[in-house]
Structure 1
Amino acid sequence: MASTEESRKSFANSVLRFLVYYGFDGLDMDWEYPTARGGIAADAENYVALLKVIKEAISPWGLTLTTAVPIDDALLGTAYDASAMAEIVDYVHLMAYDYVPSTSKVTGLSAPLSAIKNTVSNWINAGLPAKKMILGIPSYGRNYVLENENKHDIGDPVLNAGLPGDYTSEDGFLAYYEVMQIVNDQFLFMESVEIDGTNYAYGSGEWITYETEATVRTKAQYAIDEGLGGIMMWSVDTDDFQGLYGKKFPLLSAINDVIKKT
């Protein structure tokens, strides 16, 4: 679809019709990832060309074009041309989470602030203006089964990804409210630790990396201090949208509170 001018224009025109018909404000392109997962080396250039054609099609209608990008430094060098993309899109959504995936063999933080700062710096140095970068903050957690429940520090071994939540139904992945259900269960004896702008908890052989209202505030303030273009959260349906453990959308609300104060 991205490899020829004809196919790019065909896609762009179909996108425009879809956006206008349903009244959307714009399009977020999330190709994971050009040049990888069966892609070819030319896909880095093809993606820029595709974004350009889409922008030309939707811009006259006042529609916004954004793109999501990963934290992998190797992909920044091979799959994404930061400066070329920055000249086309309105914003770039940095998916600043899953620094340690659910498949990890040791415990680790999903969204440590120190790693995020390094990634932000790398993208800016590659040619992406800070004002065009949107910082992604997770509203989900990653859970693991500890190999030894008495060894629960960062970097300690795990047996496998943790059990899925009732809602998310995915091994090693929990919505924020599912994390809260576990952390607040007095029979699981969970201990919670805030570190490096994020949080983890352990107990009864389980280990969870997740965000809290306090840690998302820290990340939001960092984005503001660095002059980034904004903040996005992945995703609203994994925040506590029903208010089971307090007010509705506690993480999203905490981020919004910080933004309103600037």
Structure 2
Amino acid sequence: MKNKFFNLFTSSLGLLLILSSSCQKGSVTEDTQLSAVNMANASSTTPLANAGGLRKVGYLSLHAVGNSDYAAYMTDFVTSQYTDIIISFINPDAAGNFAITPSITQAITIAHNAGLRVYFGIATQESNGNANTQINTNRANFISKIRRFLTENNIDGIDLDFEGVGLTANFSPFVIQLADSLQPHDKRLSAAIARWQSNSISTAAYNRLDYLNVMSYDHAVSNGNPRSHSSFADFVTDINIFSAKVPKAKINMGIPTYAWVFENGNPTAQIGFNNVLEQVPNGYCLNTVSPTSSRKLFYDGHPAIRQKVPYVLDQGIGGIMIWHVLSDTQDDATSIIKFINYCEQNPAGFYPGTYRINNTNSGKTLQLLGSSNLNGTAVVQGVGDALGTNLWRFNHVASTNYGIINNFSDKAMDVTGASMLANAPLAQWPWWNQAQNQLFKLVSDDQGYYTITAVHSNMRLQIDGASSSDGAAVVQSNANVNNNQKWMIWR
């Protein structure tokens, strides 16, 4: 459910990030790897303007900024990254009339000049949410006012954000009648809905929508249950539910740019993704962070996007929806919408450049033993070195399979002798053009930590003996749920 429960968290916080796992008790470690990140590599990423086939629909809401100047936020960032903008919200007054401001008019012009479609949204859960009363008591007249407002102000369509009690028995007839009224005037109609009310709209009403904005977030936000509110599993479930309602090409799958805050296991607030990074500057490398021992933040970081965008493309989903635009960052290295656009065009899902791979159990980074560039040099854990042998590149081969190349030696991580045995060590060798023992499958969990699985043996990488010592070897082993087999990939 979209709501206004955003705050900015102005309390002073250190950069210490406590990494915790729901799979293993006593696994909380100090995140030394995120407390001193070199941002030079990340900030050098070239931004990608929106050039793909997916719709990118953004709700331009001013909830979190405290003013009503929409035009001020219709920047190059918006116009280069989105295809559709929903001005949220322009609600009717008690008589069903709509008012427009010079700022909204200017915002519409800016968006149209950049080739974007513009909708205005009405919402029943806003303080002036009179729409529900209008469709129950004055439907035909209200529809005429909507159509006139769209036409007079050169707006391309309307989005209906009717949640909770707004989805009455009169909503579906209203959708059908509104669609009939708008279609001859080439105006579009979309609706936002979450899974829990998916059966509140009739089949006939679903069929009349041009687009469906699926609110695939706010799942299982309850006391004592701190977990992702927008997990990949929930995302897949929502696609399955709504693709049975409308053609997949009409669906815009929702991705949040905000976090749910849990204090001592209980949900207390929502904050924007940009506010998450104010607390933990490199939190975009994960989907869950703990700025303090009592606080956990759950959101969609880059690991979630690496899963969701390829799945949307694979399933033939028509678009992605963002709630909301101004909770994102505009930074090339961290922005959610920029990374969505990048992943659409680049199946590798990793920006060009180098990454560190840190073991979640020890907090230490993968590097070359003795800083050597010789063939057969062991891959071990450590704290980095002056030559940067702890910097790696990802060569994408297919699907989730990658070669992992050391930036210092330009040689590939390799399971020694292509062994199929547990505890076989990792070393570096020249990149043998997709040799199976040099290919690794990268899969992230809900928190954003990766398992790294050798393709030839189907075994996972871990630190030998779950050691925390510098120089401990990296080996392959049978899968388990321990943090020793989880890795944070960061820049």
**TM class by shorter-chain length?**
0.7 to 0.9
1:218 aligned to 2:339?
no
**Is residue 285–residue 302 contact of structure 2 (8 Å, CA) maintained in 1?**
no
| CA displacement 1:16-61 (0-9 Å, x = unmatched) | 121122221101111113xx37x7xxx34x2121112211222222
C-alpha spacing 1:47/1:108, structure 2 compared with 1 (3 Å): same
Q: CA deviation at 1:254?
A: 1.2
Q: CA deviation at 1:193?
A: 8.2
What corresponds to 1:61 in structure 2?
A: 185
What corresponds to 1:31 in structure 2?
A: 162
Q: CA deviation at 1:255?
A: 1.2
SS at the partner of 1:143? strand
Structure (1/2) with the larger strand percentage: 2
1:181 aligned to 2:299?
no
What corresponds to 1:153 in structure 2?
A: none
What corresponds to 2:290 in structure 1?
A: 202
What corresponds to 1:168 in structure 2?
A: none
One-letter code aligned to 1:177: N
C-alpha spacing 1:202/1:128, structure 2 compared with 1 (3 Å): same
One-letter code aligned to 2:180: E
Superposition TM-score, scaled by structure 1 size: 0.73
Instruction: Name the count of aligned residue pairs.
Output: 213
Superposition TM-score, scaled by structure 2 size: 0.40
Structure (1/2) with the larger helix percentage: 1
Q: CA deviation at 1:249?
A: 7.5
> Identical aligned pairs, as a percentage?
22
**Distance in structure 2 (CA, Å) of the matches to 1:228 and 1:122:** 13
Query: Which structure is larger by alpha-carbon Rg, 1 or 2?
Result: 2
Q: CA deviation at 1:248?
A: 8.2
**Distance in structure 1 (CA, Å) of the matches to 2:151 and 2:209:** 18
Which aligned pairs between 1:102-121 and structure 2 lie closer than 5 A? 104-121=223-240
**Is residue 217–residue 229 contact of structure 2 (8 Å, CA) maintained in 1?**
yes
Which aligned pairs between 1:33-48 and structure 2 lie closer than 5 A? 33=164, 36=165, 43-44=168-169, 46-48=170-172
**Is residue 302–residue 336 contact of structure 2 (8 Å, CA) maintained in 1?**
yes
SS at the partner of 1:240? coil
C-alpha spacing 1:230/1:159, structure 2 compared with 1 (3 Å): closer
C-alpha spacing 1:212/1:159, structure 2 compared with 1 (3 Å): closer
Runs of 4+ in 1 over 6 A off after TM superposition: none
**Distance in structure 1 (CA, Å) of the matches to 2:205 and 2:176:** 8
**Distance in structure 1 (CA, Å) of the matches to 2:334 and 2:139:** 38
**Is residue 176–residue 240 contact of structure 1 (8 Å, CA) maintained in 2?**
yes
**Distance in structure 2 (CA, Å) of the matches to 1:120 and 1:229:** 11
One-letter code aligned to 1:57: S
C-alpha spacing 1:193/1:236, structure 2 compared with 1 (3 Å): closer
Q: CA deviation at 1:71?
A: 2.0
